[in-house]
Structure 1
């Protein structure tokens, strides 16, 4: 019997009970990946390694081992180390790099019985909002071959949305595993900074911001993956244990901020869709107040972007000076700009980052959950860094990313779940944010909200 394209929970139950095998499940996933090559969501496969790993899981099952992800096929983003696999960061600089070991999160997933069936596409160095690279080309949206799923975790998100796998693992330093899920209609979770140990991996241009982020069709599978990966590890000095108790949603103070308290453009279909969703949640019994965070003067994404540019320049500036053409032109521009920033500019960005974190901390002394849009628009053509217009205004290349980066700088947990589509069926998402360390309460609440939206 071959496995159906079920949830991670169902697959693990079937494999554990002997109704199917990890080898059968992995074989089926590899077949789906092959059939969806035009999507370009999965950039590397190693069928022999995958099937050998699946066979080892089957042996563990036969030996009586209980594994929460037994036989679950997963896609891992192309900037997370998977020992023995080619991991490139979407960069020609790393085209032949083979990871020497697993990242801690991957080690834990394997121990839980997950089977890696492929590596998901990312933009170069996970540093832009569309998933294209000179090494692999564009990843396409499952609902339209000319559209982008967003970035930088576009490959993992598109793989889940297309039904290639039930679960994928991305990274998120500014929204990379919330915005693509919102654009393709699945769920993406950014945990609190440190809740899931990070690395061993490549040198990170996003100092103190990036996290390992599960992507799945629903919140329950994300919760399952999070519990497998979470928990402190001495190899990551920033890792930390978080609250075990998950609060009941009925007792949570919930706020809705349609523009996150910022002067940002939002397409009418998204704005109206979020208002309708919040009204449905209120009608279902949730107590939701309209309330915006209060930001310090000058709190914008532009104020904090020098950190990304300077990080890229610190890592790759010398290579850029010698051979700028080896880089994606969009990344080259970021590196060039990073080389131009002064120490004072970078320090100013750190000051702005800390001020944003403090403002969010103050907000969450009086609120438990914050609801916002995840994205201000639906997917756009992959040849563009962003849509030309949002909310009737000319949009900057980062105009599509406005709702997510502040969360990273405050190191808070946040999740995107689907909440509507436009007239063409293109999805957008609801972002739910909580204070740092309240990951389990956030996930529990998100599961309830997900059910309320779908009813």
Structure 2
């Protein structure tokens, strides 16, 4: 397939100066998407609408309007409202749903000149770590069609990795826009909770955890998108201002935790790749101390998972009781489990979530950045919920997801950037985590770390 030769920053500059047009750029992106149908990264296309939107951007440019994302083609995850488009959450329940309006983030991207050229695949309700759905089927890994890009933002991540678009917009409630980018070799950013307004859109099963998350080939494009989307909006009561000052990385206190303080398995190739990256960063002059967060007793993903199950049951339990076969079987199991949790179980999960947040707060009281793995393994077959083995040990279906969910429960910003590859060329990522509200500092540091690792 033909890959784009320009980043989002470069496309915006070219459209702004008239070297190319938004329409030409959108046509090229649509042609790449058409040529990559077998990837199943983009599940809904409306070429006429996209080209009309691109023509409107060209008209605005000719009228003298300045747009930071002028003509940049984007793919938006299938659980974020894009007005006038089918947004189905990968579910047969919403197969014919047309979003009545844009989510605030999409509204802001359009105002900045971005052009939606497709809707990216997600697992049903964005609720599992493999991007397969009963409505659209499996999304394939761009480097190996028998593997998964991970989930739940597998479609947007694969679309960027395959070069279909320079920028995609996902969501992240437990790592959904950090792990897939790590598996396909691009960058994915989970902002501080509230930094980008959420909705209007579907009711969320994740109880104050999910965020809008840009995915791109490099951190510069992620920062461009974040700046366009971030900021308080009265329509989202959780939206919040963030600290805008970006501190230089040389002034930051940086820690490295090879397993995030958890007793979990990591493949040797990932552990060695992370250690090598840390050595390179240290040699470049960064002061990095190895230090683990200290978690409360019983802090595991199992302790907080009742929140997801109960949320799904609250939203879709009635439909499940009428016809459980309409759901992805893996999601049906989660809903069934959610219907069985007691109020005490859910309260216990909320308490565990709060304890994790307090543990992270204590860690960041004297630390500015935490470096850790994004994933403990590389991609696995799309027919499985997770790899059979990680680090030489039998792996649970969520063993691949151990390093990301706690960040959501602490509502911190985190980014995954490419860090290395295994002998077969399959990527993995370095996760960089910061204190809540320090999104600008995190992005600046990520750009500097990215440059060092690519040098």
TM-score scaled by length of structure 2: 0.99
**Whole-angstrom distance in 1 between the partners of 2:220 and 2:4:** 18
The Cα RMSD (Å) is 0.9
Asked if structure 1 preserves the Cα contact closer than 8 Å seen for 2:82 and 2:102, the reply is yes
Counterpart residue number, 2:67: 67
The equivalences for 1:2-401 within 5 A come to 5-401=5-401
Provide, for residues 129-173 of structure 1, a one-character-per-residue CA deviation record: whole Å limited to 9, x for no partner: 000001000000000000000000000000000000000000000
Please state whether the residue corresponding to 2:372 is helix, strand or coil: strand
Asked if structure 2 preserves the Cα contact closer than 8 Å seen for 1:5 and 1:166, the reply is no
**Whole-angstrom distance in 2 between the partners of 1:234 and 1:197:** 9
Please state whether the residue corresponding to 1:51 is helix, strand or coil: helix
Asked if structure 1 preserves the Cα contact closer than 8 Å seen for 2:4 and 2:165, the reply is no
Asked if structure 2 preserves the Cα contact closer than 8 Å seen for 1:3 and 1:11, the reply is no
Deviates more, 1:4-13 or 1:30-39: 4-13
Please state whether the residue corresponding to 1:141 is helix, strand or coil: coil
Residue 12 of structure 1: how far off its partner (Å):
0.4
Residue 439 of structure 1: how far off its partner (Å):
0.3
Counterpart residue number, 1:426: 426
Asked if structure 2 preserves the Cα contact closer than 8 Å seen for 1:42 and 1:120, the reply is yes
Provide, for residues 93-119 of structure 1, a one-character-per-residue CA deviation record: whole Å limited to 9, x for no partner: 000000000000000000000000000
Runs of at least 4 residues of structure 1 off by over 4 A?
none
Please state whether the residue corresponding to 1:353 is helix, strand or coil: helix
Please state whether the residue corresponding to 1:316 is helix, strand or coil: helix
Asked if structure 2 preserves the Cα contact closer than 8 Å seen for 1:130 and 1:152, the reply is yes
Asked if structure 2 preserves the Cα contact closer than 8 Å seen for 1:3 and 1:20, the reply is no
**Whole-angstrom distance in 2 between the partners of 1:101 and 1:345:** 36
Residue 5 of structure 1: how far off its partner (Å):
3.0
Counterpart residue number, 2:407: 407
**Whole-angstrom distance in 2 between the partners of 1:4 and 1:126:** 28
**Whole-angstrom distance in 2 between the partners of 1:331 and 1:5:** 39
**Whole-angstrom distance in 2 between the partners of 1:431 and 1:135:** 32
Number of positions where the alignment pairs a residue of Structure 1 with one of Structure 2: 454
Residue 198 of structure 1: how far off its partner (Å):
0.2
Provide, for residues 238-297 of structure 1, a one-character-per-residue CA deviation record: whole Å limited to 9, x for no partner: 000101100010000000000010100000000000000000000000000000000000
**Whole-angstrom distance in 1 between the partners of 2:429 and 2:19:** 35
Counterpart residue number, 1:441: 441
**Whole-angstrom distance in 1 between the partners of 2:312 and 2:276:** 40
**Whole-angstrom distance in 2 between the partners of 1:258 and 1:434:** 16
Please state whether the residue corresponding to 2:235 is helix, strand or coil: coil
CA pair 3-53 structure 1, distance change in 2 beyond 3 A: farther
Provide, for residues 311-369 of structure 1, a one-character-per-residue CA deviation record: whole Å limited to 9, x for no partner: 00000011101100000000000000000000000000000000000000000001100
**Whole-angstrom distance in 2 between the partners of 1:113 and 1:322:** 44
Please state whether the residue corresponding to 1:431 is helix, strand or coil: strand
Please state whether the residue corresponding to 1:331 is helix, strand or coil: helix
**Whole-angstrom distance in 2 between the partners of 1:450 and 1:295:** 29
**Whole-angstrom distance in 1 between the partners of 2:325 and 2:96:** 18
